[in-house]
Amino acid sequence: MHIHILGICGTFMGGIALIARAAGHRVTGCDANVYPPMSTQLAAEGIDLVEDFGADQVALNADLWVIGNAVSRGNPLLEAILARGLPYVSGPQWLAENILQKKWVLAVAGTHGKTTTAAMLAWILEDAGLQPGFLIGGVPQNFKKSANFSESSFFVVEADEYDTAFCDKRSKFVHYHPRTAILNNLEFDHADIFVDLAAIETQFHHFVRTIPGNGLVVTNAAEAALESVLTRGCWTPVERFNEMSGWHATGDDASGRLVIWQGAREMGAISWLLSGEHNRNNALAALLAARHAGVPLAHGLAALTRFESVRRRLEVRGTVNGVTVYDDFAHHPTAIATTLAGLRGKVGASRILAVLEPRSNTMKLGAMKDALPGSLAAADGVFCYSANLGWDAAAALAPIGGKAVVTDDLTDLVARIVTAAAPGDHVLVMSNGGFGGIHGKLLAALAAR
Protein backbone atom coordinates (compact mmCIF):
# COMPACT_ATOMS: atom_id res chain seq x y z
CA MET A 1 0.00 0.00 0.00
CA HIS A 2 1.20 3.51 -0.79
CA ILE A 3 0.71 5.85 2.19
CA HIS A 4 1.26 9.59 1.85
CA ILE A 5 1.62 11.43 5.18
CA LEU A 6 0.70 15.08 5.60
CA GLY A 7 2.85 16.70 8.28
CA ILE A 8 5.45 13.96 8.11
CA CYS A 9 8.26 15.86 9.84
CA GLY A 10 6.49 16.15 13.17
CA THR A 11 7.94 13.72 15.68
CA PHE A 12 4.74 11.67 15.89
CA MET A 13 3.96 11.55 12.18
CA GLY A 14 7.59 10.90 11.35
CA GLY A 15 7.40 7.91 13.68
CA ILE A 16 4.28 6.70 11.90
CA ALA A 17 6.22 6.94 8.63
CA LEU A 18 9.08 4.82 9.97
CA ILE A 19 6.72 2.16 11.33
CA ALA A 20 4.64 2.03 8.15
CA ARG A 21 7.79 1.68 6.03
CA ALA A 22 9.12 -1.13 8.26
CA ALA A 23 5.72 -2.85 8.08
CA GLY A 24 6.13 -3.11 4.31
CA HIS A 25 4.25 -0.09 2.97
CA ARG A 26 5.51 2.41 0.44
CA VAL A 27 5.67 5.71 2.33
CA THR A 28 6.00 9.28 1.11
CA GLY A 29 5.10 12.52 2.82
CA CYS A 30 5.05 16.28 2.86
CA ASP A 31 5.61 19.11 5.29
CA ALA A 32 6.35 22.80 5.39
CA ASN A 33 8.94 22.79 8.18
CA VAL A 34 11.80 20.36 7.74
CA TYR A 35 14.60 20.15 10.30
CA PRO A 36 16.64 17.46 12.11
CA PRO A 37 16.43 15.05 13.75
CA MET A 38 13.26 13.90 11.97
CA SER A 39 14.29 15.01 8.48
CA THR A 40 17.55 13.09 8.70
CA GLN A 41 15.79 9.99 10.05
CA LEU A 42 13.35 9.98 7.14
CA ALA A 43 16.09 10.54 4.57
CA ALA A 44 18.11 7.67 6.04
CA GLU A 45 15.11 5.38 5.55
CA GLY A 46 14.70 6.46 1.93
CA ILE A 47 11.32 8.10 2.54
CA ASP A 48 10.70 10.75 -0.12
CA LEU A 49 9.61 14.17 1.09
CA VAL A 50 7.70 16.85 -0.78
CA GLU A 51 8.18 20.42 0.40
CA ASP A 52 4.92 22.15 1.36
CA PHE A 53 1.29 21.04 0.85
CA GLY A 54 0.55 21.61 -2.81
CA ALA A 55 -2.75 20.23 -4.12
CA ASP A 56 -0.85 18.74 -7.06
CA GLN A 57 0.34 15.96 -4.74
CA VAL A 58 -2.95 14.14 -5.31
CA ALA A 59 -1.30 13.03 -8.56
CA LEU A 60 0.80 10.67 -6.44
CA ASN A 61 -2.32 8.47 -6.35
CA ALA A 62 -1.65 7.23 -2.81
CA ASP A 63 -3.86 4.42 -1.54
CA LEU A 64 -4.28 6.17 1.81
CA TRP A 65 -3.64 9.71 3.06
CA VAL A 66 -2.61 9.95 6.73
CA ILE A 67 -3.31 13.41 8.13
CA GLY A 68 -1.23 14.93 10.92
CA ASN A 69 -2.86 17.13 13.55
CA ALA A 70 -0.87 20.17 12.41
CA VAL A 71 -2.87 20.10 9.15
CA SER A 72 -6.06 22.19 9.27
CA ARG A 73 -8.97 22.97 6.98
CA GLY A 74 -7.84 25.36 4.28
CA ASN A 75 -4.64 23.40 3.68
CA PRO A 76 -4.51 23.04 -0.14
CA LEU A 77 -3.67 19.34 -0.17
CA LEU A 78 -6.22 18.47 2.51
CA GLU A 79 -8.90 20.38 0.62
CA ALA A 80 -8.02 18.47 -2.57
CA ILE A 81 -8.23 15.14 -0.73
CA LEU A 82 -11.65 16.02 0.70
CA ALA A 83 -12.96 17.36 -2.61
CA ARG A 84 -12.02 14.17 -4.44
CA GLY A 85 -13.34 11.86 -1.74
CA LEU A 86 -9.95 10.20 -1.26
CA PRO A 87 -9.46 7.81 1.67
CA TYR A 88 -7.83 9.44 4.70
CA VAL A 89 -7.22 8.67 8.36
CA SER A 90 -5.52 10.30 11.35
CA GLY A 91 -2.12 9.09 12.51
CA PRO A 92 -3.33 7.74 15.89
CA GLN A 93 -6.21 5.87 14.28
CA TRP A 94 -3.89 4.34 11.66
CA LEU A 95 -1.50 3.23 14.41
CA ALA A 96 -4.28 1.75 16.52
CA GLU A 97 -5.92 -0.17 13.68
CA ASN A 98 -2.80 -1.41 11.90
CA ILE A 99 -0.15 -1.87 14.60
CA LEU A 100 -1.51 -1.87 18.15
CA GLN A 101 -4.30 -4.41 17.86
CA LYS A 102 -3.51 -7.55 19.88
CA LYS A 103 -0.39 -5.90 21.33
CA TRP A 104 0.41 -5.34 24.99
CA VAL A 105 0.49 -1.55 24.76
CA LEU A 106 2.42 0.39 27.38
CA ALA A 107 1.42 4.05 27.14
CA VAL A 108 3.17 6.97 28.82
CA ALA A 109 0.98 10.04 29.45
CA GLY A 110 1.52 13.30 31.30
CA THR A 111 2.26 16.96 30.75
CA HIS A 112 6.01 16.48 31.17
CA GLY A 113 8.51 13.65 30.82
CA LYS A 114 6.59 11.49 28.34
CA THR A 115 9.43 11.20 25.85
CA THR A 116 12.16 10.39 28.37
CA THR A 117 9.98 7.96 30.33
CA ALA A 118 8.82 6.17 27.19
CA ALA A 119 12.44 5.91 26.03
CA MET A 120 13.46 4.46 29.40
CA LEU A 121 10.61 1.96 29.30
CA ALA A 122 11.37 0.84 25.75
CA TRP A 123 15.05 0.43 26.62
CA ILE A 124 14.30 -1.62 29.76
CA LEU A 125 12.10 -3.97 27.72
CA GLU A 126 14.72 -4.16 24.97
CA ASP A 127 17.49 -4.91 27.46
CA ALA A 128 15.31 -7.69 28.88
CA GLY A 129 15.10 -9.29 25.44
CA LEU A 130 11.46 -8.39 24.76
CA GLN A 131 12.26 -6.46 21.55
CA PRO A 132 9.37 -3.98 21.84
CA GLY A 133 7.94 -1.86 19.09
CA PHE A 134 7.75 1.79 20.04
CA LEU A 135 6.73 5.26 18.95
CA ILE A 136 8.35 8.05 20.94
CA GLY A 137 8.28 11.81 20.45
CA GLY A 138 12.06 12.09 20.33
CA VAL A 139 15.13 10.07 19.42
CA PRO A 140 16.38 7.76 22.22
CA GLN A 141 20.14 7.54 22.01
CA ASN A 142 20.04 3.80 22.73
CA PHE A 143 18.01 3.19 19.57
CA LYS A 144 19.05 6.11 17.32
CA LYS A 145 15.48 6.33 16.02
CA SER A 146 12.11 7.50 17.34
CA ALA A 147 10.04 4.53 16.20
CA ASN A 148 10.39 0.81 15.74
CA PHE A 149 8.22 -1.83 14.13
CA SER A 150 8.50 -5.22 15.79
CA GLU A 151 6.72 -8.56 15.80
CA SER A 152 7.00 -8.50 19.60
CA SER A 153 3.84 -8.59 21.70
CA PHE A 154 4.94 -5.36 23.41
CA PHE A 155 4.60 -1.81 22.12
CA VAL A 156 5.58 1.38 23.97
CA VAL A 157 3.85 4.58 22.89
CA GLU A 158 4.19 8.16 24.03
CA ALA A 159 0.57 8.99 24.79
CA ASP A 160 -0.09 12.62 23.95
CA GLU A 161 -3.17 14.52 25.15
CA TYR A 162 -3.09 16.88 22.16
CA ASP A 163 -5.97 16.52 19.72
CA THR A 164 -5.92 13.83 17.04
CA ALA A 165 -6.65 15.57 13.72
CA PHE A 166 -8.80 18.18 12.00
CA CYS A 167 -11.62 15.62 11.92
CA ASP A 168 -11.15 14.16 15.41
CA LYS A 169 -10.78 16.51 18.37
CA ARG A 170 -10.34 13.78 20.94
CA SER A 171 -6.89 13.43 22.52
CA LYS A 172 -4.55 11.13 20.63
CA PHE A 173 -4.17 8.75 23.55
CA VAL A 174 -7.80 7.59 23.55
CA HIS A 175 -6.97 5.55 20.44
CA TYR A 176 -4.24 3.42 22.02
CA HIS A 177 -6.14 1.19 24.51
CA PRO A 178 -3.10 0.37 26.69
CA ARG A 179 -2.80 -2.49 29.11
CA THR A 180 -0.16 -0.63 31.11
CA ALA A 181 -0.42 3.14 31.50
CA ILE A 182 1.87 5.65 33.16
CA LEU A 183 0.36 8.94 34.35
CA ASN A 184 3.46 11.04 35.08
CA ASN A 185 1.97 14.42 35.98
CA LEU A 186 -0.79 16.78 34.90
CA GLU A 187 -1.03 20.55 34.71
CA PHE A 188 -2.41 23.15 32.34
CA ASP A 189 -0.88 23.21 28.85
CA HIS A 190 -1.96 23.41 25.21
CA ALA A 191 -3.83 26.67 25.71
CA ASP A 192 -4.64 26.65 21.99
CA ILE A 193 -7.06 23.72 22.40
CA PHE A 194 -7.90 23.46 26.14
CA VAL A 195 -9.67 26.23 28.05
CA ASP A 196 -8.48 25.10 31.48
CA LEU A 197 -7.01 22.24 33.48
CA ALA A 198 -10.46 20.70 34.02
CA ALA A 199 -10.79 20.19 30.26
CA ILE A 200 -7.51 18.27 30.19
CA GLU A 201 -8.54 16.22 33.22
CA THR A 202 -11.63 15.15 31.28
CA GLN A 203 -9.46 13.83 28.44
CA PHE A 204 -7.32 11.92 30.94
CA HIS A 205 -10.51 10.48 32.40
CA HIS A 206 -11.50 9.28 28.94
CA PHE A 207 -8.04 7.71 28.60
CA VAL A 208 -8.33 5.90 31.96
CA ARG A 209 -11.72 4.52 30.89
CA THR A 210 -9.99 2.58 28.07
CA ILE A 211 -7.58 0.65 30.34
CA PRO A 212 -8.75 -2.93 31.08
CA GLY A 213 -9.32 -4.42 34.51
CA ASN A 214 -6.33 -6.75 34.10
CA GLY A 215 -4.05 -3.81 33.29
CA LEU A 216 -2.17 -1.39 35.52
CA VAL A 217 -2.17 2.37 36.06
CA VAL A 218 1.17 3.68 37.34
CA THR A 219 0.51 7.18 38.68
CA ASN A 220 2.36 10.01 40.40
CA ALA A 221 0.86 10.24 43.89
CA ALA A 222 2.12 13.81 44.33
CA GLU A 223 -0.07 15.13 41.50
CA ALA A 224 -3.44 16.34 42.80
CA ALA A 225 -4.83 16.64 39.26
CA LEU A 226 -4.12 12.96 38.59
CA GLU A 227 -5.82 11.94 41.82
CA SER A 228 -8.79 14.04 40.68
CA VAL A 229 -8.85 12.12 37.40
CA LEU A 230 -8.80 8.75 39.15
CA THR A 231 -11.60 9.68 41.55
CA ARG A 232 -13.87 10.22 38.55
CA GLY A 233 -13.63 6.49 37.85
CA CYS A 234 -10.93 3.86 37.53
CA TRP A 235 -11.55 0.18 36.84
CA THR A 236 -7.90 -0.86 36.81
CA PRO A 237 -5.40 -1.63 39.61
CA VAL A 238 -3.35 1.46 40.52
CA GLU A 239 0.28 1.56 41.64
CA ARG A 240 1.45 4.92 42.97
CA PHE A 241 4.96 6.36 43.04
CA ASN A 242 6.51 9.53 44.44
CA GLU A 243 5.16 9.04 47.97
CA MET A 244 7.42 8.51 50.98
CA SER A 245 5.26 5.74 52.43
CA GLY A 246 5.37 3.81 49.15
CA TRP A 247 7.48 3.82 46.00
CA HIS A 248 9.85 6.77 45.74
CA ALA A 249 13.28 7.61 44.36
CA THR A 250 16.20 9.57 45.74
CA GLY A 251 19.59 10.39 44.34
CA ASP A 252 22.52 12.72 43.93
CA ASP A 253 23.13 14.52 40.65
CA ALA A 254 26.80 15.25 41.26
CA SER A 255 27.65 11.56 41.73
CA GLY A 256 24.96 10.23 39.37
CA ARG A 257 23.36 8.01 42.01
CA LEU A 258 19.77 6.74 41.79
CA VAL A 259 18.15 4.87 44.71
CA ILE A 260 14.72 3.21 44.60
CA TRP A 261 12.72 2.80 47.81
CA GLN A 262 9.49 1.16 48.87
CA GLY A 263 8.68 2.95 52.08
CA ALA A 264 11.78 2.70 54.29
CA ARG A 265 13.14 -0.30 52.40
CA GLU A 266 15.86 0.28 49.82
CA MET A 267 14.98 -1.79 46.73
CA GLY A 268 18.03 -1.04 44.62
CA ALA A 269 20.63 1.57 43.71
CA ILE A 270 22.66 2.37 40.60
CA SER A 271 24.92 4.97 39.04
CA TRP A 272 23.49 6.46 35.85
CA LEU A 273 23.90 9.34 33.40
CA LEU A 274 20.74 11.40 34.01
CA SER A 275 20.08 14.09 36.59
CA GLY A 276 17.18 15.81 38.32
CA GLU A 277 14.31 14.76 40.54
CA HIS A 278 12.04 14.68 37.51
CA ASN A 279 14.20 12.04 35.84
CA ARG A 280 14.34 9.98 39.01
CA ASN A 281 10.54 9.94 39.01
CA ASN A 282 10.52 9.14 35.29
CA ALA A 283 12.82 6.19 35.97
CA LEU A 284 10.69 4.84 38.80
CA ALA A 285 7.53 5.03 36.66
CA ALA A 286 9.28 3.17 33.84
CA LEU A 287 10.59 0.52 36.23
CA LEU A 288 7.12 -0.16 37.67
CA ALA A 289 5.54 -0.33 34.21
CA ALA A 290 8.25 -2.70 32.99
CA ARG A 291 7.74 -4.86 36.07
CA HIS A 292 4.08 -5.20 35.10
CA ALA A 293 5.26 -6.54 31.74
CA GLY A 294 7.43 -9.11 33.49
CA VAL A 295 10.81 -7.39 33.90
CA PRO A 296 12.10 -7.68 37.50
CA LEU A 297 13.01 -4.42 39.21
CA ALA A 298 16.68 -5.42 39.52
CA HIS A 299 16.91 -6.10 35.80
CA GLY A 300 15.25 -2.79 35.02
CA LEU A 301 17.70 -0.93 37.24
CA ALA A 302 20.63 -2.63 35.56
CA ALA A 303 19.26 -1.55 32.17
CA LEU A 304 19.10 2.06 33.33
CA THR A 305 22.85 2.07 33.99
CA ARG A 306 23.15 1.78 30.20
CA PHE A 307 20.43 4.28 29.34
CA GLU A 308 21.78 7.15 27.24
CA SER A 309 18.83 9.56 27.43
CA VAL A 310 17.07 11.17 24.46
CA ARG A 311 18.25 13.66 21.90
CA ARG A 312 17.34 17.23 22.85
CA ARG A 313 17.09 16.39 26.55
CA LEU A 314 20.10 18.14 28.09
CA GLU A 315 22.01 16.97 25.03
CA VAL A 316 25.53 18.34 24.87
CA ARG A 317 25.98 19.80 21.41
CA GLY A 318 29.61 20.77 21.94
CA THR A 319 32.20 22.44 24.12
CA VAL A 320 34.31 25.28 22.70
CA ASN A 321 36.93 27.25 24.63
CA GLY A 322 35.54 25.93 27.90
CA VAL A 323 31.90 26.83 27.14
CA THR A 324 29.46 23.91 26.91
CA VAL A 325 26.31 24.27 24.78
CA TYR A 326 23.25 22.10 25.50
CA ASP A 327 20.07 21.47 23.54
CA ASP A 328 16.85 20.82 25.45
CA PHE A 329 13.18 20.52 24.44
CA ALA A 330 11.86 22.36 27.52
CA HIS A 331 9.22 24.96 26.63
CA HIS A 332 6.73 24.93 29.54
CA PRO A 333 7.72 26.82 32.74
CA THR A 334 7.64 23.65 34.82
CA ALA A 335 9.90 21.83 32.35
CA ILE A 336 12.22 24.84 32.18
CA ALA A 337 12.56 24.89 35.97
CA THR A 338 13.15 21.13 36.30
CA THR A 339 15.68 21.11 33.45
CA LEU A 340 17.61 23.96 35.05
CA ALA A 341 17.48 22.18 38.42
CA GLY A 342 18.87 19.01 36.88
CA LEU A 343 21.73 20.87 35.20
CA ARG A 344 22.44 22.83 38.38
CA GLY A 345 22.78 19.56 40.27
CA LYS A 346 25.41 18.43 37.78
CA VAL A 347 27.47 21.61 37.40
CA GLY A 348 27.27 22.98 40.94
CA ALA A 349 28.23 26.64 41.22
CA SER A 350 29.27 27.02 37.57
CA ARG A 351 27.36 29.67 35.65
CA ILE A 352 24.32 28.63 33.61
CA LEU A 353 23.16 30.88 30.78
CA ALA A 354 19.59 29.98 29.83
CA VAL A 355 18.57 30.65 26.22
CA LEU A 356 14.83 30.45 25.62
CA GLU A 357 12.60 30.43 22.54
CA PRO A 358 8.93 30.59 23.66
CA ARG A 359 7.79 28.75 20.55
CA SER A 360 4.99 26.38 21.60
CA ASN A 361 1.40 27.40 20.89
CA THR A 362 0.80 27.83 24.61
CA MET A 363 3.83 30.08 25.02
CA LYS A 364 3.04 32.12 21.91
CA LEU A 365 -0.39 32.86 23.36
CA GLY A 366 1.23 34.15 26.53
CA ALA A 367 -0.73 31.82 28.79
CA MET A 368 2.38 30.97 30.83
CA LYS A 369 4.33 34.23 30.61
CA ASP A 370 3.81 35.19 34.25
CA ALA A 371 5.41 31.93 35.37
CA LEU A 372 8.57 32.44 33.30
CA PRO A 373 10.60 34.56 35.74
CA GLY A 374 10.21 32.01 38.53
CA SER A 375 11.02 29.10 36.23
CA LEU A 376 14.33 30.73 35.28
CA ALA A 377 15.44 31.49 38.83
CA ALA A 378 18.27 28.94 38.78
CA ALA A 379 19.94 30.55 35.75
CA ASP A 380 22.73 33.09 36.11
CA GLY A 381 21.75 34.78 32.87
CA VAL A 382 18.68 34.63 30.64
CA PHE A 383 18.53 35.27 26.90
CA CYS A 384 15.05 35.26 25.34
CA TYR A 385 14.26 35.23 21.62
CA SER A 386 11.09 37.27 21.27
CA ALA A 387 10.29 37.02 17.54
CA ASN A 388 6.70 36.13 16.61
CA LEU A 389 5.30 36.60 20.11
CA GLY A 390 1.97 38.26 20.79
CA TRP A 391 3.13 39.58 24.16
CA ASP A 392 5.97 41.65 25.58
CA ALA A 393 8.73 39.26 26.66
CA ALA A 394 10.83 42.07 28.15
CA ALA A 395 7.94 43.11 30.38
CA ALA A 396 7.25 39.51 31.39
CA LEU A 397 10.89 38.99 32.39
CA ALA A 398 11.22 42.37 34.13
CA PRO A 399 11.00 40.72 37.59
CA ILE A 400 14.46 39.18 37.07
CA GLY A 401 15.91 42.57 36.17
CA GLY A 402 19.28 42.90 34.48
CA LYS A 403 19.74 39.13 34.39
CA ALA A 404 17.49 38.99 31.29
CA VAL A 405 18.32 39.96 27.71
CA VAL A 406 15.45 40.03 25.20
CA THR A 407 15.79 40.45 21.43
CA ASP A 408 13.84 39.50 18.31
CA ASP A 409 16.99 39.26 16.17
CA LEU A 410 18.67 35.84 16.15
CA THR A 411 22.06 37.17 15.04
CA ASP A 412 21.98 39.73 17.85
CA LEU A 413 20.95 37.03 20.33
CA VAL A 414 23.92 34.84 19.38
CA ALA A 415 26.31 37.80 19.65
CA ARG A 416 25.04 38.74 23.10
CA ILE A 417 25.34 35.18 24.39
CA VAL A 418 28.88 34.80 23.04
CA THR A 419 29.89 38.12 24.59
CA ALA A 420 28.54 37.06 27.97
CA ALA A 421 29.89 33.49 27.97
CA ALA A 422 33.14 32.71 29.75
CA PRO A 423 35.20 29.51 30.14
CA GLY A 424 33.43 27.14 32.51
CA ASP A 425 29.95 28.39 31.59
CA HIS A 426 27.06 26.16 30.54
CA VAL A 427 24.74 27.54 27.84
CA LEU A 428 21.35 25.81 28.05
CA VAL A 429 19.26 26.32 24.90
CA MET A 430 15.57 25.50 25.35
CA SER A 431 13.02 25.28 22.52
CA ASN A 432 10.56 22.78 21.07
CA GLY A 433 11.68 23.68 17.54
CA GLY A 434 14.84 24.10 15.50
CA PHE A 435 15.51 27.61 16.91
CA GLY A 436 17.12 28.71 13.65
CA GLY A 437 20.08 26.40 14.11
CA ILE A 438 21.26 28.46 17.07
CA HIS A 439 23.35 25.66 18.58
CA GLY A 440 25.68 25.45 15.60
CA LYS A 441 25.82 29.25 15.34
CA LEU A 442 26.79 29.55 18.98
CA LEU A 443 29.53 26.95 18.70
CA ALA A 444 30.91 28.55 15.55
CA ALA A 445 30.86 32.04 17.09
CA LEU A 446 32.52 30.78 20.28
CA ALA A 447 35.26 29.17 18.22
CA ALA A 448 35.82 32.35 16.19
CA ARG A 449 36.06 34.86 19.03
DSSP labels, 124-159: HHHHTT---EEE-SS-BTTTTSSEE--SSSEEEEE-
Q: Do 149 and 291 share a domain, yes or no?
A: yes
Question: Are 342 and 254 contacting, i.e. CB atoms less than 8 angstroms apart?
Answer: no
Q: Do 323 and 363 share a domain, yes or no?
A: yes
What's the total number of domains in the chain? 3
pLDDT score recorded for residue 124:
98
User: Does position 50 have pLDDT exceeding 80, yes or no?
Assistant: yes
Domain membership of residue 95 (yes or no) is no
Domain end point (choices 69, 90, 111): 90
Q: Do 82 and 196 share a domain, yes or no?
A: no
Q: What 3-state class would DSSP assign to 27?
A: strand
Residue scoring higher pLDDT (129 or 389): 129
Q: Do 145 and 266 share a domain, yes or no?
A: yes
Question: Are 414 and 445 contacting, i.e. CB atoms less than 8 angstroms apart?
Answer: yes
Q: Do 117 and 27 share a domain, yes or no?
A: no
pLDDT digits (tens, 9 = 90+) for 229-280: 999 999 999 999 999 999 999 998 888 999 999 999 999 999 998 888 889 9
Q: Which residues pair with 158 in a beta bridge?
A: 108
pLDDT digits (tens, 9 = 90+) for 138-162: 889 899 888 999 999 999 999 999 8
Q: Do 228 and 336 share a domain, yes or no?
A: no
Those residues whose C-beta lies under 8 Å from the C-beta of residue 238, and which sit 6 or more positions away, are: 216, 217, 218, 219, 230
pLDDT score recorded for residue 346:
84
Buried b (16+ CB within 10 A) or exposed e, 278-291: bbbbbbbbbbbbbb
Structure pTM? 0.83
Print the domain residue range for 198.
102-304
The overall average pLDDT reported for the chain is 92
CATH number assigned to the domain comprising residue 19 = 3.40.50.720
Q: Do 284 and 370 share a domain, yes or no?
A: no
Domain membership of residue 309 (yes or no) is no
Per-residue pLDDT band at 187 (split at 50, 70, 90): confident
Q: Do 403 and 277 share a domain, yes or no?
A: no
User: Does position 343 have pLDDT exceeding 70, yes or no?
Assistant: yes
Domain end point (choices 304, 328, 354): 304
Domain end point (choices 90, 120, 146): 90
- For residue 412, the one-letter residue type is D
Burial of 195 (0-12, 13-18, 19+ CB in 10 A): exposed
Taking Cα atoms as reference points, which of 95, 215, 65, 223 lies closest to residue 159?
95
Q: Do 320 and 293 share a domain, yes or no?
A: no
Average pLDDT of span 194-217? 94
Average pLDDT of span 199-214? 96
Burial of 410 (0-12, 13-18, 19+ CB in 10 A): middle
Q: Do 260 and 130 share a domain, yes or no?
A: yes
CATH number assigned to the domain comprising residue 392 = 3.90.190.20
